Every structure is written in C-alpha cells, then in structure tokens.
Amino acid sequence: MKKLNQEDTKRITDKVLSLSKADECTVTIDGGRTGNIRYARNAVSTAGLVENTSLAVSVAFGKQQGTAMINEFDDKSLEKAVRRAEDLARLAPENPEFMPTPSGAAFKASATFSDKTDAIDPEFRAQVAAYSIEACRKNKLVAAGFFTDESAFQAIANSRGVFGHQQRTSVDFTCTVRTEDGRGSGWVRRDASDVSKFDAREAADVAIEKALRSVEAKALEPGRYTVILEPAATADLLAYMFGAFDARSADEGRSFLARKGGGNRLGDKLFDEQVNVWADPWHPDVPVLPWDSQTMLPREKMDLIKGGKIAALQYSPFWAKKQGARAVGQPGNIVMAGGSKSTAELIANTKKGVLVTRTWYIRMVDPQSVLLTGLTRDGTFYIENGKIKHPIKNFRFNESPVTMLNNIDELGRPEILAGDETPLQLLIPAMRVRDFNFTSLSDAV
C-alpha cells in the first residue's frame, strides 16, 4: 500500500471516528517501509524490505476498553475494526483507573523526515555492506554488520478533536570486525534521522581500527578504575535509569527515586552538578514525534536532571490526576550536556584508566539502587599517561548509573546514537568517570 499522506490519514481517521458508537474512540495509523541488509563472514547473509500499514482502534464504554488492530483500509474493514474493538470493550471488565484521552491538543511539528533517507534503495544498502566487507578482506579481517533504514509516518486522532500526522526517517548501522584468528574484535554504531549525516566508510574504519588494536589483550585485575566510557558504553545504563523516572513507582516506594518515609525525591541532588539532562522533541540532532502515541499528549522540552538535581518525573494521566500534578507526553529522546572534547582528548588528559568502547548484556540486579551488571566488549584498552598503552581483556561490571553520574571527572562531546535496549533517541557525551566497579574478568573476545 502506498505511503499515506496527511489528507489520506485525516479522511481515514474521520471515517473511523464517525463509525464508532462508543463514549470515546481513538485511532492510530502507523505505516511505512523498513529496508535492511545483514552480513557476516564477509558475505551478505540476508537482505529484505518490509512494507506495512496498520490501524489501531481503541474504544471505551465508560471504563470498559477494547482495542482492535487491522491492516486493511477499505470501508468494510474500517467498520469491522470498530465493531471488533467495541465487542472487546463490552467483554472487558471495568478498569477503575481508566482515563480518557486529551481534547484539543495541538502539536508543533518536529523535523523528523529526510528526503535522502526516504530515497535509500537496495544498491545503497549493498554499498554500505560492501565498504566494510571489502576493507576487511584487504586487511585479513572478518566483518559482520547490519544496516537498516526506515521511512514511516504516524497519524493519531480521537473523538475529542485531537489529530496529528507526521513523517519520520531513520538509519541504524552496527558493524563488528574480528581478526581471522579471533583474538581481536572492534565495533561501531551510527544512528541518524538524515542519512547524509552517516558515513559508512568512516564507520567501518572505526571498527577495523579497534579490531586491529585489540589483539593480544592483557589481563588487568578487576577493581575500581577511572574509565573513559564512549557514548555507546553508557547508552543502555542511562536508559535503565531513566526508565525508573516514573512518579507513581517513586511515590509508591518501589523505585530508587522513592523517599524514605514516603513521597518521591523530586528536587533532590542525586548526581554530580555537571549532569544536565533534558528531553526535546524538536532537537535538530535527535528529533522525535511531538506527541506520545500512548497517551496522545504533546511532548515538551523539559529538564530531567538539572545541575545534578532531579528536575522532573513522568506522570501517567491517572497518577497526575490523583496527585494533582500535570501529565505531559513521555519523552522520546534524551539529551545530555557535554563538553567540546573528543574521546581522544579525554584520553590525552588521563593518567591511568580504562577505555570502554561498548557495554553488553546489561541487566538490573537491584532496582533499589539501580545496580546493573554487564560486560565490556569489542575494544577495551588500558590508558597510561594520556595514551592507549595496550588492549585489555573484557570485564564484568556491577555498577549503578546513579553512582556513575556522581563520579564524573570530565564530559566529552555528545554523539547521536540509539541504545541496544531502548527506543529512546540519545545524544550523550563520552564520560571520564572515577571508581567504576569491575568485578571479574571475561575471556571473551
């Protein structure tokens, strides 16, 4: 099916809303195409293109709610979707916490669409793979990678007058380069909304250099070290922590942001004062849709951490009403302030430390302290007197991002990336952090 424009989606959502007999009806249309190419062992293993458009209809009779999803758009199918959602709503028990969606919300468009990304074709994808495969063959290295691009749109509407339609594009590239003998491994990640900001050759070169430098890693005793964490190394650590910025969990006493004795820690200084984090749907480097599709609330530019203090918590519409707070759309991105230095300059200012390219398999050990465990991977190096001295074996860490953000020495230049485990778009700096807790060694390369 062709990509729907705003006129198309307005016509469809109006039609769906007019068909519903429920007290409330909300409609979401998601569509577009996703292309990908996957390679390993210096050869392409899969390539694909998925095109799909889906319609979700949610209705409510009082506090009974039902949802139907469909991917057909003729008039008969639209009516079928509405009737099915209404059938489910009548079967569903009442939810005392049900909240109606907002009325009359207006959305200020964000620059989430790039014509160049929209125009990506199979040849472009093949060329992205070819850069790293050919360079690896020349260097007797082995490349494995994945490039995916998306050109999509979302439209939202409800029976209270809300309507929004916006297009978005993105590219995501990861590449792992290993030496033929398996003793060295390097990795790179690049993300962007506008593909003209992506350079496949530059990215492949980063992974190749890391792979070549990482051979013959030496073991360093586990313990607390000053570390330089590249942005990809902290992305998922931060995402886990911001996942706990929920007001209800904090108020109910089951989050690290719960206050002993009751209430939450909004306004408390929990981090080093260099830590400033905000969400901004209109940020030019990490733009996201100006609404939260779950609640249909507009997103806002908002501080999350300011000068090390907790500046905002996320309120669901139900909890906001109960607590007398204001609900806004959940953030789609996280921006952390940094400095102007490159990672190389941070290294040059380090007497002794460990450079971490990437962290892997991060899991929550204790939500009370946001203690996370995970490992370093694909390029871990020992720094001495401002220079990378030699590669070192990978470590397991047990560390809390709360502690990490309290031990910041210096921040580097922020970089755009997506995390392995979060839908958030991120713009975060490299960090030099004191006393990072490595608890054991891993022989994995």
Partner 1 sequence: MERRAFLNLGGAALGSLLLPPFGRAIAAEDLVKPVDTRFKKMLADTALQAATQAGASYCDVRVGRYLNQFITTRDLNIENVTNTESAGVGVRVIANGAYGFAATNDMTPDGVAGAARQAVAIARANAKLQAEPVQLAPTPGVGEVAWATPFKKDWRLVPIKEKAELLIAGNKAGMEGGASFMQSLLFQVNQQKYFASTDGSYIDQDLHRLWVPFFATAVDKKSGKFRSRSGLSTPVGMGYEYLDGRKEDKFLAAGGVTTLYRNSYDLVEDARAAGKQAKQKLTAKSVQPGKYDLVLSPEHLWLTIHESVGHPTELDRVLGYEANYAGTSFATLDKWQSKKFKYGSDLVNIVADKTTPGSLGAVGYDDEGVKCKRWDIIKDGVLVNYQATRDQAHIIGENQSHGCSYADSWSSVQFQRMPNVSLQAGKKPLTPDQMIKDVKKGIYIVGDGSFSIDQQRYNFQFGGQLYYEIKDGKITQPLEDVAYQANTQEFWNACTALCDERDWRMGGSFFDGKGQPSQVSIVSHGAATTRFNGINVINTARKIG
Residues between 122 and 181 that touch partner 1 (CB under 8 A): 122, 126, 142, 144-146, 148, 174-176, 178
Query: Across-strand partners of 411?
Result: 431
Do 155 and 9 contact (CB within 8 A), yes or no?
yes
Do 298 and 332 contact (CB within 8 A), yes or no?
no
36 binds partner 1 (CB under 8 A): yes
**Shortest distance in whole angstroms from residue 350 CB to partner 1:** 25
Candidates 10, 15, 23, 69: give the one binding partner 1 (CB under 8 A). Answer: 69
x/- string (CB under 8 A) for partner 1, residues 94-123?
xxxx------------------------x-
Measured from the CB atom, the residue of 350 and 394 that comes closer to partner 1 is 394
Buried b (16+ CB within 10 A) or exposed e, 390-410: ebbebbbbebbbbbbbbbbbb
Nearest to 4 by CA among 58, 70, 52: 52
φ, ψ of residue 202 to 5 degrees: the values are -60, -40
48 binds partner 1 (CB under 8 A): yes
What is the footprint of partner 1 within residues 239-298 (CB under 8 A)?
A: 239-240, 243-244, 246, 249, 252-254, 256, 258-262, 269-270
**Shortest distance in whole angstroms from residue 368 CB to partner 1:** 6
Report the relative pairing of strands 425-442 and 333-336 from DSSP bridges: parallel
**Shortest distance in whole angstroms from residue 92 CB to partner 1:** 5
Measured from the CB atom, the residue of 151 and 350 that comes closer to partner 1 is 151
- DSSP conformation letters of 180-220: TTSS-EEEEEEEESSGGG--HHHHHHHHHHHHHHTSSPBP-
**Shortest distance in whole angstroms from residue 423 CB to partner 1:** 6
**Shortest distance in whole angstroms from residue 387 CB to partner 1:** 27
Do 44 and 76 contact (CB within 8 A), yes or no?
no
396 binds partner 1 (CB under 8 A): yes
Question: How many residues bind partner 1, per CB under 8 A?
Answer: 99
366 binds partner 1 (CB under 8 A): yes
Nearest to 105 by CA among 57, 154, 56, 163: 163
Residues with Cβ within 8 Å of 282's Cβ and at least 6 positions away in sequence, in order, are 108, 110, 111, 290, 301
Stretch that binds partner 1, among 283-291, 319-327, 395-403, 426-434 (CB under 8 A): 395-403
Do 118 and 152 contact (CB within 8 A), yes or no?
no
Residue appearing with tokens 């009082």: 62
398 binds partner 1 (CB under 8 A): yes
What is the footprint of partner 1 within residues 190-249 (CB under 8 A)?
A: 236, 239-240, 243-244, 246, 249
440 binds partner 1 (CB under 8 A): yes
DSSP state of 42: T
Query: Across-strand partners of 15?
Result: none
Candidates 11, 18, 21, 71: give the one binding partner 1 (CB under 8 A). Answer: 71
Residues with Cβ within 8 Å of 121's Cβ and at least 6 positions away in sequence, in order, are none
33 binds partner 1 (CB under 8 A): no
Candidates 349, 367, 390, 413: give the one binding partner 1 (CB under 8 A). Answer: 367
Q: Which two tokens stand for residue 320?
A: 């906001």
Candidates 6, 23, 44, 197: give the one binding partner 1 (CB under 8 A). Answer: 44
**Shortest distance in whole angstroms from residue 4 CB to partner 1:** 17
Stretch that binds partner 1, among 35-43, 152-160, 163-171, 194-202 (CB under 8 A): 35-43
357 binds partner 1 (CB under 8 A): no
What is the footprint of partner 1 within residues 302-321 (CB under 8 A)?
A: none
